[in-house]
Structures are given as structure tokens and as C-alpha cells.
Amino acid sequence: MKHFPIFMALEGRRVVVSGGGEAALAKLRLLLKTEARLTVITQSPASEIVDWAQDDRLTLIARPMQIGDALCAKLFYAANEDDAEDARVAAIASAEGALVNIVDNLEDSQFITPAIVDRDPVTVAIGTEGAAPVLARAIKKDLEDKLSPTLGLMARVGKAFRKHADALPFGRKRRDFWADYYFGGTAPNTEDEANAKLDTLLEQHLHEPERDGHVDLVGAGPGDPELLTLKARNALDTADVVIYDRLVAPEILELARREAVMISAGKEGFGPSVTQGAINEMIVSHARSGAYVVRLKSGDPTVFGRLDEEIEACDAAHINWRIVPGITSASAAVAALGQSLTKRGRNSGIRFLTGHDTKGFADHDWKTLSRPGEVAAIYMGKKSARFIQGRLMMHGADPATPVTVIENASRPSQQILATTLAELEPALTDANFDGPALTFLGLAPRDALAVADDYQMKEALS
């Protein structure tokens, strides 16, 4: 971000525009919406500028700019549509302490004016750092269509009503009231209609019984935000509290409602950190206070997610809950190999195993797993790789059985280690993977892999 967006208070402050043609007019039309003290310096003012000066909406100095003209100015626009003159006046203004914009000269400007959607006091500023004015215009049009023309009026009336809304308890209840006002029912057309809507809604919300909390146990998928389900996205959009595991990608946390309370539960699968009891308590206490809690787990919450313990805690506290499934990392990892999890004639079933559980390395039916054609997706299998390798070999598994480890499946940092059972260790240790990794027993990447990664896809489609 080369330009930091801010909203500047211009009331009573001096803003100077040098120039009197179309470029100056375009800026002045925007600036006249503010309460700045405007000065225009030009030898040849357009007739509108003369009219505005006569109406006392700005001060016109009808001569070329001189040293001293920009003293005390906060902002200065060089809008002469003449490079040499703009450079001359910009240098004066800059030396006199004003922030300088040169129209159509991004390089030499100290600030830029964004495209603006005006629903005063609601103002949306759109900037592309000069990269794509066409895009800015398209976004502006989109927003103009979306935002009701009376939004500004609603916001003004709403602001004056704030003290009455304080009768509602802070938090969810008050938020719901405002959401109903701005987004529920029909938009008011006049101030009286807006006030009537506020009165009616306040009455309703004051007498509404306390809302019960709710817990959604949500799968965040393997990491790529595009692999979130729409349901998960909507849950994040409306959550009051998000309690997330360590493996949930930061890009996904970014999607949570801005006001949501974000709490890291630190743990993942059977790993150490915040105790399960403490997490259960956190979920329950937030839900008890009426919050909509999103318990966000990587992949699918029903796969090695210690989900049942949290469900039991909710049940014991009589709190409503729901499971929102996600894409488990085995699905993302196998996609990266260009393979399918099951295949006619190869494996008619697949096992999801964990490398270790609460008691240490997990025991499994090694004899069955050692048979040719068996396919298993091993979660949390990095530390236990040598143990698994040893058990399988001991039960007679073919040392040449393909084993593939996929680290950071679906993320830009994805890596694939294709090896065999005999070579799994030390190959895995040598690979030095430090992200989450999923191990496939019995699957190799498809030969002559034609599977495109996301980057190639975007290139191909552009």
C-alpha cells in the first residue's frame, strides 16, 4: 500500500487550487462539498468559478500564482493542465508546507484524490494508486447502485438517535437493532420516516426476550480461502466470537467480521497447548452470554478435530450447536497429486489414520495396512513416520510401496515429497517440512503430472 487512506477534516482549513479549466473544475466540484476555505488562483477562470466566487463559496485570485499564495494551506492542487506551470506552482506550495497534488501526475503528487461515492456522512473512497482508473470507476458504479440514495439521510438521523439506542444493552442486541434499521424492511425516504422506523424498532428490540447463544463448529478447509464453503464464509461474516485453531490460515481469519472477538485456541488435533477443558469453557461461556460463536477448525471439523468433546460441553450447557463441514486436508492433498482417493481395481476403501493420539504414537491394524493396494491418509504423521515405517515393514509391507507426503496442501507454499516406504525416513527428515503435512500410504503423484496449480490456471484463463 503506497498510499494510506484517511478522511481529513477540512472544516475551516485552507485549500488552494491553481488553475481555471476543466481539471480545476473537476476538483472544485468535489471540494465544494466540504467546509474548506477554498482559494482558486488563475488568470483565466471558467465562468462557474467566477459564479462561485460571487456567491462567496470560494476566493478567486485572478493572476498567476506567486510565492506566499499557499501559506497556511493544508492541501494544494496544481490543475493548470500545463506541465511546466504545474511544476512551478507545486514547488511553491510544497515549500510553503501544503500537501501537493498535481492533476494527472501521480509520480510527483504527495497525495491523490480517490473516486468517491457520496452518501454524506457515509463516504466511500476508492483508490487504485493510479493503476486502474477504469476499475475504480466500475467499482464506484457498482457501489452507487448498491447503496440506497437515502443512506446518507438514514445515517444522519441514526446518529442523532444514538443516545436513545443506548437503552439497549451493549453488544449483540444493540447491533441487531442497527442492522434492522439499515438493512431490514423498506428504506425510509424522509427524516420523519427514518425517525418512525427507529422508534418502532427500538420498541420491538427493548421488549424482545434475550437471544440464546449458538455455536457453529466450522471447517476452515486446508488453507486456500477459496476452498471455504459458502456456509463457513457466512458464519465468519456474522460471528460475534471466533475461536480458531493454530492451523487455520491467516487469510481465512481476515474474512471474519471486523468486530468479531478473535481468540486463538492454539491447539490442533492432538497437539499440546491450551487444554481442551479450557477451550470447552471458552466456547460455553461466550455462547451463554448470547454470542454467536464460530469454533473454527482446519480442514473438516469431524476429522481428528476433537469435535465430540466440544459438542458434549455444549450439550451439557444446553447450548445449540451445528456442524459446518469443510474440505479435509486429505482431499486437498490428493488433488495436488492428480489422483483420486479410491480407484476401481486399486483400492475400494481408504483409511484416515492419525500418526499419534493422546497416548502417543497411535496403534493401527498394521497387518491389513501392509497388504498391496492399501491406501491410507495419515494425519499428524510427521513425528511418527519412523514408527509407522517400522511397523509396516515388520508386517511384511512391500518396501517399494509408494508413500507421498504433501506439506501445506492447497497453500502457495505447498510441497510434495514422493518416496517409498523403505525410504520414507530419512527422506522426510531431510525434507525438513515445518508446515502441516499429510502422508499418503499407497499413493504416488500421477506420472507426467498434467495437473495445473492455481497459478497456472489463472495464467491459462487470462
Q: Which of 197, 267, 297, 382 is catalytic?
A: 267
Q: Is 49 in the site for ligand SAH (CB under 6 A)?
A: no
Amino acid letter for position 283: I
140 vs 21: CA distance, rounded Å: 25
CA-based nearest residue to 379, from 336, 441, 311, 429: 441
Which one, 317 or 427, has the nearer CB to ligand SAH? 427
Q: How far apart are CB 310 and ligand SAH at their closest, in Å?
A: 13
Beta bridge partners of 299: 221
Q: How far apart are CB 382 and ligand SAH at their closest, in Å?
A: 7
Cβ atoms 86, 105 nearer than 8 A: yes
Range list of β-strands (E), 267-350: 292-297, 320-324
227 vs 211: CA distance, rounded Å: 32
Residue among 268, 335, 374, 445 that touches ligand SAH (CB under 6 A): 268
Instruction: Give every strand in the sheet of 320-324, ordered side by side.
Output: 261-264, 241-244, 292-297, 214-219, 320-324
Q: Is 404 in the site for ligand SAH (CB under 6 A)?
A: no
Which one, 249 or 287, has the nearer CB to ligand SAH? 249
332 vs 221: CA distance, rounded Å: 9
Q: Is 19 in the site for ligand SAH (CB under 6 A)?
A: no
Torsion of the alpha carbons at 274, 245, 309 and 238, rounded to the nearest 10: 120
Q: Is 409 in the site for ligand SAH (CB under 6 A)?
A: yes
- Choices 62-70, 116-124, 273-281, 431-439 (CB under 6 A): range interacting with ligand SAH: 431-439
Which one, 188 or 222, has the nearer CB to ligand SAH? 222
Residue among 19, 436, 442, 445 that touches ligand SAH (CB under 6 A): 436
Joined grid coordinates for residue 103:
492533476
Q: How many CA atoms does the CB half-sphere of 310 hold within 13 Å? A: 32
Q: Is 310 in the site for ligand SAH (CB under 6 A)?
A: no
Q: How far apart are CB 334 and ligand SAH at their closest, in Å?
A: 11
Q: Is 20 in the site for ligand SAH (CB under 6 A)?
A: no
DSSP 226: G
Q: Which of 216, 245, 300, 382 is catalytic?
A: 245
Which one, 284 or 380, has the nearer CB to ligand SAH? 380
* Those residues with Cβ within 8 angstroms of residue 111's Cβ, 6 or more apart along the chain or in another chain: 3, 75, 99, 100, 101
Residue among 292, 304, 321, 440 that touches ligand SAH (CB under 6 A): 304
- DSSP per position, 150-201: THHHHHHHHHHHHHHHTTSPTTHHHHHHHHHHHHSSPPPSSHHHHHHHHHHH
Q: How many helices (H) and strands (E) does the chain have?
A: 16, 19
Residue among 89, 215, 376, 380 that touches ligand SAH (CB under 6 A): 380
Evaluated on CA atoms 360, 362, 367, 369, the torsion sign reads negative
Is 245 designated active site?
A: yes
Amino acid letter for position 184: G
225-264 positions binding ligand SAH, by CB under 6 A: 247
331-370 positions binding ligand SAH, by CB under 6 A: 333
Ranked by CB distance to ligand SAH, the top (closest) residue is: 299
Is 267 designated active site?
A: yes
Q: Is 445 in the site for ligand SAH (CB under 6 A)?
A: no
Which one, 240 or 300, has the nearer CB to ligand SAH? 300
Q: How far apart are CB 180 and ligand SAH at their closest, in Å?
A: 36
Which one, 18 or 410, has the nearer CB to ligand SAH? 410
Which one, 369 or 406, has the nearer CB to ligand SAH? 406
Q: Which residues contact ligand SAH (rule: CB under 6 A)?
A: 222-223, 247, 268-269, 297-300, 303-305, 328-329, 333, 379-380, 406, 408-411, 436-438
Q: Which residues are catalytic?
A: 245, 267
